[in-house]
Amino acid sequence: IKNNNPFKKLNDEIFVYVAKKQKEIDELKRLEQFRREFLADVSHELKTPIFAAQGFIHTLIDGAVDDEFVRDKFLAKAARSLDGLDALVKDLVALSQLETGEIRMHLERVDIYQITLEIFEQLENIAEAKGITLRIKSSLQRSDVIRADVARLGAARPDAARTDLQGPVWVMADPQRITQVMTNLIENGIKYGNDAGKVVVSFADDKKHISISVRDDGPGIAPEHLSRIFERFYRVEKSRSKERGGTGLGLAIVKHILNAHKSKITVMSKPDKGTMFRFKLEKAVETEL
């Protein structure tokens, strides 16, 4: 009787249908909740630089403009706030596109070693201002890696003194996005690292992957904050992060980009010893040798 019951089949179908619809409703609710929270966070974050710039400009209009010293100071401060706003809007656009899956990754064969050197060059000034040394280290197993004679190359090429390895290191990645990941991590190392410290990018490998780590010897991150630093707008010390030009979105963007590369980032940190971020990318086969 059981098997021939025509209502049983219908009942099962209805049950499956209802469960499916319920899942869709839950997903919509989750998205709606996310959207509401995101909007609240964003408007809060946007207000800060806007209010600051407005304050300086209105004070100038109200007469402060006549004092040359105050004028220059306030104009510089207003410009800084607007630069912060610009960085925030750029990060927000990137993050929202990543979160909604709008950005497609274009995976290709990229030389992560070269990308790192280029980022070092771009961040040279802010590193130098803090007396921070930027280095590349390698523990690659590959036989084709030519170890640079640091002293010899150091004399010929200033770059080479920074590295115990000559590239390339080929990985499969979206070049633009992986540049953003590396920039955010290296920049954080410089921003939050100690004066006269070091930021070191290391490459290691196994059969299929290149493991990339970025570490500093700065003050580190306390364990209670460690699991939260990848959340958008989460900052360990709000004022210190903002003062250093942070948007609070850097690591959230890093996490999403790596996610889209099917990679996960891990962080290890010891107070007063430093912080290390690490992730893996798929090796790209070397075709030209």
Closest CB to ligand ADP among 87 and 161? Answer: 87
Tell me the pairing of strands 274-282 and 266-270.
antiparallel
Closest CB to ligand ADP among 66 and 195? Answer: 195
* Cα-based distances in Å from 183 to 90, 133, 198, 251: 15, 15, 15, 11
For residue 235, which phi and psi values (nearest 5 degrees)? -130, 140
User: Closest separation between CB of residue 256 and ligand ADP, Å?
Assistant: 11
Closest CB to ligand ADP among 210 and 214? Answer: 214
User: Closest separation between CB of residue 215 and ligand ADP, Å?
Assistant: 8
User: Closest separation between CB of residue 189 and ligand ADP, Å?
Assistant: 5
Q: In whole angstroms, what separates CA 10 from the centre of its chain?
A: 51
Closest CB to ligand ADP among 170 and 241? Answer: 241
User: Closest separation between CB of residue 56 and ligand ADP, Å?
Assistant: 22
Asked if 170 contacts 110 with a C-beta cutoff of 8 angstroms, the reply is: yes
List of residues contacting ligand ADP (CB under 6 A): 184, 188-189, 192, 216, 218, 221, 229, 234-237, 241, 246-252, 275
Asked if 219 contacts 195 with a C-beta cutoff of 8 angstroms, the reply is: no
User: Closest separation between CB of residue 239 and ligand ADP, Å?
Assistant: 10
Closest CB to ligand ADP among 160 and 265? Answer: 265
* Cα-based distances in Å from 154 to 112, 148, 149, 150, 234: 21, 9, 8, 5, 40
CA dihedral 222, 226, 232, 236 (to 10 degrees): 0
Closest CB to ligand ADP among 110 and 190? Answer: 190
User: Closest separation between CB of residue 216 and ligand ADP, Å?
Assistant: 5
